[in-house]
Structure 1
Amino acid sequence: MSDWHSWAAIAVFVGTYALIISEKIHRVAAALGGAGLMLAIGATDDVSAFYLQDRGIDWNVIFLLAGMMMIVGVLKKTGLFEYLAIWGVKRAHARPFRVMVMLIVITAVASALLDNVTTVLLIAPVTLLVCERLALPAAPFLIAEVFASNIGGTATLVGDPPNIIIASRAGLTFNDFLVHLAPLSALLTLVLIALCWWLFRTTFVYDEERAAEIMELEEREAIKNPRLLVQGLIVLALVIAGFVLHPVLHYEPSIVALLGAGLLIAVSTVETGEVLAEVEWPTLAFFAGLFIMIGGLIDTGVIEKVSDALASGIGGQELGGSMLLLGASTVLSGVVDNIPYVATMAPITSDLVHSMGGGPDHVMWWALALGADLGGNATAIGASANVVVLGIAERNRQPISFWQFTRYGLVVTAVTTAVAALYVWLRYFALA
């Protein structure tokens, strides 16, 4: 590709990003328009956009989301989420901050065991119902859950897609991530709880009358279709087992989710059209446009040039290099999707680790993982979970603007990255 293509691709990406931030046109229209321009100027082509996973639409992500959205759509018809909402609020005695803490902890733990996108798809409907019952704005609770999902996903190999890429390239195991990143993830979850208490302090208004009404409710009465609930929970359990057993079964999560959705539709009496109506099609279209735009940056060599410049700045300095990699990855992952960034940066990091004489669990790998995972909290489009939750909120008439999310995300990202930098310094240098 020529320099002209590189600058044109940058201009399209920056212009599209500016439109998404300004919200003058819908983010889906902006993303699809940007994708169209990338194809029109020749920054990418149909083969890269539609057939190459590492530089075009990641169909595994698209179909994972579609399959899980269908399963969640069926479960919504059973009354399960109403049951969980009433049960959770009663256990928290209808105190808003206690409810938020409970949702944050559940989301963080679930995101470590599953993946952050699947987790928010399951937790967001419960959150919307909880806020409706307590007459609270849903946005602060949904935003807090997104932060928790990205932080919790840092803890394990399967929690966030960049971790899977890093593990494959570096030869790391599930236990390596648990030993090196799970303690920090737990600490950052506590930090997040403290930050949310400060950031959303005006939200925690206790309504004694509503609390009394909720405490009198019987959650079992919320279940509308027990048979469908049993069918849905069995299928969901099988899907989760499929996710966990990926190293053994070698089925991609997207295949597992689609098989689960197909099985649930086949064994239940729910109409196929009703299930498909529950899919967040605008969110999937937004992802497709975003993937194509990022593919244009990859095909024109823009991301590779950024990664090479970062590698040149690092040189052979382990401490300075790990801090630079952590900080730069945090910033870049807040702007572009962290999956193609890590895919591009992983071989460069591998060369750096080799030149430093490091092993598979070298500090540079953990710096890359932390920057990519935590940086996703910075902006409304920094991670897949963010985009999914914004789509769910908009569909339920509780829209979250780009800046509403980002003004909190920048604070959370700055603080958690600072804590992560301190952790890296202490564990791998000061106390090594």
Structure 2
Amino acid sequence: MNDWHSWAAIAVFVGAYALIISEKIHRVAVALGGAGLMLAIGATDDVSAFYSQDSGIDWNVVFLLMGMMTIVGVLKKTGMFEYLAIWAVKKARARPFRVMAMLVVITATASALLDNVTTVLLVAPVTLLVCERLALASAPFLIAEVMASNIGGIATLVGDPPNIIIGSRAGLTFNDFLVHLAPLAVVLVAVLLVLCRVMFRSSFVYDEQRADEIMALEEREAIKDRRLMVQGLVVLTLVVAGFVLHPVLHYQPSVVALLGAGLLVAVSAVETNDVLAEVEWPTLAFFAGLFIMIGGLIDTGVVDGISRTLADLIGGNELGGSLTLLGGSAVLSGIVDNIPYVATMAPITSGLVHDMGGNGHHVLWWALALGADLGGNATAIGASANVVVLGIAERNRQAISFWQFTKYGLIVTAATVGISLVYVWLRYFALA
């Protein structure tokens, strides 16, 4: 941290973050510009930026997104999302809050089996169509869903990328996450629904005329290409199975997504150019730039310095350490992407667990997972799913600003992290 490269890297990252918040320059331009500066000042280099697993672009995330965006692009051509939108609205009797509650529960549940980015890629198109049908602003619904995806992701090993890192380092299984974190996830989803009812209350405007029109629709008529839809759903089912069977097959989610996308394009009659046009290329470019900027902080020792400072604060105090790790991880994961943060913090946590005489099921691992996963809701760039949803909203001319997301994100994060602190104290200390 004493090297000038460290302070220069901090200056670049803080400056880029300030510009993203101000929204005076498009976030993609800021991320790519910040990445260029990190390379120019020597905070990182081409080898680290493009090839390092620890501090470079996370190609697994980029290609996972590209593969799933391709599959979603094909499914959009079938009319399936219109079908689901009409079905969801009719099931909820066209009541806006009921629609939001249904979408939140579906998103949270799906995020326990899929990663949260894949989930929002599938749910967001339905949401946009639902809001269009009901003449509602889509931002509250999209924000609620992305937060539900991050909360639902804590429940399982495959729900959020940081969980996979933690599971690998600590030797934790899919069932371990279910037993320790799934009960809390259910409670937090219920809390999110209550918060949404309050935060977005002005958005739940019931239009009786539009409701009557939608209730009279026949959702099956929305299907444009039944054969293509069947092909797409078969491939999507295979991809989801590949995600769930990751502990057995050992295929990275990105590989599964790319195989599925390639298979779908090959067996269907869709035009490749039309499908690739549906990929959110600006979002992928933003991720690349953001990963390089964070890589500069990792390579110059900034992230490691912060992590070790946090470790020093923890010391040998299990209760204080667990609560500090959870809260500190939530704060840091709202600023930097939680994947490189957890990758850096995992070996430090492992050392702390060893020093305390613990094993893979030690409370510190659950504290790290909760802080990293839930902290991602705090800001618009705190988690990959957030960035993806902002990109989809902008592409559909329903832009969500940094502060529009963050003002709600901070409330949800404060509430969910606060409840998680109580949960950790009760389950692993007071009632142990």
Structure 1 residue 100, shift from structure 2 partner: 0.3
Quick one: which amino acid aligns to residue 406 of structure 2? T
Find the aligned partners of 2:174 and 2:231 in 1 and give their Cα distance.
31
Q: Does residue 255 in structure 1 map to residue 223 in structure 2?
A: no
Corresponding residue for residue 331 of structure 1? 331
Corresponding residue for residue 369 of structure 2? 369
Structure 1 residue 56, shift from structure 2 partner: 0.7
Q: Does residue 236 in structure 1 map to residue 236 in structure 2?
A: yes
Corresponding residue for residue 172 of structure 1? 172
Find the aligned partners of 2:142 and 2:37 in 1 and give their Cα distance.
33
Q: Does residue 159 in structure 1 map to residue 183 in structure 2?
A: no
Find the aligned partners of 1:252 and 1:97 in 2 and give their Cα distance.
37
Deviation sequence 1:311-350 (CA, Å, 0-9, x none): 0011000111111001100000000000010010011111
Corresponding residue for residue 215 of structure 1? 215
Find the aligned partners of 1:180 and 1:97 in 2 and give their Cα distance.
30
Quick one: which amino acid aligns to residue 37 of structure 2? L
Corresponding residue for residue 111 of structure 1? 111
Structure 1 residue 430, shift from structure 2 partner: 0.6
Corresponding residue for residue 206 of structure 1? 206
Find the aligned partners of 2:212 and 2:169 in 1 and give their Cα distance.
54
Corresponding residue for residue 271 of structure 1? 271
Structure 1 residue 250, shift from structure 2 partner: 1.3
- The percentage of aligned residue pairs carrying the same residue is 82
Find the aligned partners of 2:57 and 2:348 in 1 and give their Cα distance.
23
Quick one: which amino acid aligns to residue 130 of structure 1? V
Structure 1 residue 2, shift from structure 2 partner: 6.0
- SS state of the match for residue 155, structure 2? coil
1:73-92 correspondence runs (5 A): 73-92=73-92
Structure 1 residue 163, shift from structure 2 partner: 0.4
1:32-181 correspondence runs (5 A): 32-181=32-181
Quick one: which amino acid aligns to residue 333 of structure 1? S
Structure 1 residue 75, shift from structure 2 partner: 0.2
Deviation sequence 1:54-81 (CA, Å, 0-9, x none): 2010001000000000000000000000
Corresponding residue for residue 393 of structure 1? 393
Corresponding residue for residue 419 of structure 1? 419
Find the aligned partners of 2:235 and 2:314 in 1 and give their Cα distance.
48
Structure 1 residue 245, shift from structure 2 partner: 1.2
Structure 1 residue 191, shift from structure 2 partner: 0.2
Deviation sequence 1:255-289 (CA, Å, 0-9, x none): 11111111111111100000110000000000000
Structure 1 residue 244, shift from structure 2 partner: 1.0
Structure 1 residue 408, shift from structure 2 partner: 0.2
Quick one: which amino acid aligns to residue 118 of structure 1? T
Deviation sequence 1:96-120 (CA, Å, 0-9, x none): 0000000000000000011100000
Corresponding residue for residue 402 of structure 1? 402
- SS state of the match for residue 408, structure 2? helix
Quick one: which amino acid aligns to residue 218 of structure 2? E
- SS state of the match for residue 154, structure 1? helix
- SS state of the match for residue 335, structure 1? coil
Structure 1 residue 251, shift from structure 2 partner: 1.0
Corresponding residue for residue 245 of structure 1? 245
Q: Does residue 11 in structure 1 map to residue 11 in structure 2?
A: yes
Quick one: which amino acid aligns to residue 166 of structure 2? I
Corresponding residue for residue 186 of structure 1? 186
- SS state of the match for residue 423, structure 1? helix
Find the aligned partners of 1:419 and 1:256 in 2 and give their Cα distance.
35
Structure 1 residue 248, shift from structure 2 partner: 1.4
Structure 1 residue 367, shift from structure 2 partner: 0.4
**RMSD of aligned C-alpha atoms?**
0.7
Find the aligned partners of 1:224 and 1:82 in 2 and give their Cα distance.
10
Structure 1 residue 359, shift from structure 2 partner: 1.5
Deviation sequence 1:123-179 (CA, Å, 0-9, x none): 000000000000000000000000000000000000000000001111111111000
Does the CA-based 8 Å contact 1:34-1:293 persist in structure 2? yes
Does the CA-based 8 Å contact 1:2-1:300 persist in structure 2? no
